[in-house]
Structure 1
Amino acid sequence: MNEEVPAGAQEPDEAPAAPAGPVALGLVRTPTGHAGADAALERLADVDHLPADGHVEVYEDVHRGLRSALTALDATEGPRPHENRS
């Protein structure tokens, strides 16, 4: 019996090839216009080249950067709107 196997068919014991390393998701990061926030968000691109166990360090760093940017916004000099009452 001579059955033809279609081109590209795999034998049952063959597993599909896995990627050689981390693969970038290709997400687009839209700038916010705030330098501190944009720098923190740009740091997220570093996870594209790291294995999953390296992501936590980057995420924590980005979180610290975003918290710092928000804290800086709260610490701006000048009267706050509710302090301008006569």
Structure 2
Amino acid sequence: MSDTVPENEAPQDTVTETGHDPAAPAPLHVPRTPTGNAEVDAQLERLGDADHLATDGHVEVYEDVHRGLRDALTALDARPGPPAPPSPYGNRS
């Protein structure tokens, strides 16, 4: 048995006749609906970066987006709320 490829047979390549490599990253085309919050929308758009990476690169994008969303939620807690309504009883000593 020989390890050589016969001359009339080309070695099989992973690229198809259309030029598409099935192992290459491919966009998922998942729609991202804007939320109206600029910080959150920026993080959602960042998810699109994963479309152009191999799967082992997705983790970095997902962790970055998770961190950004967590920071946006934390910022909501840090904002001062509306002022408290005045007391109907006034200041009594």
Mark yes or no: TM-score above 0.5: yes
**Counterpart of 2:80?**
77
Total equivalences in the alignment: 70
**Amino acid aligned to 2:44:** L
* TM-score, length of structure 2 as denominator length: 0.64
Q: Looking at both structures, which has the greater relative contact order when contacts are Cα pairs under 8 Å and sequence separation is at least 6?
A: 1
Stretches of structure 1 lacking an aligned partner (at least 5 in a row) = 1-14
Percent sequence identity is: 65
Residue deviations 1:13-50, cap 9 Å, x none? xx9x4525111111100001011111111100000000
* TM-score, length of structure 1 as denominator length: 0.69
Inter-CA distance 78–47: structure 2 relative to 1 (3 Å threshold): same
The structure with the largest helix share of the pair is: 1
Rg larger for: 2
Structure 1 residue runs of 4+, over 2 Å off?
Answer: 83-86
Counterpart secondary structure, 1:38: helix
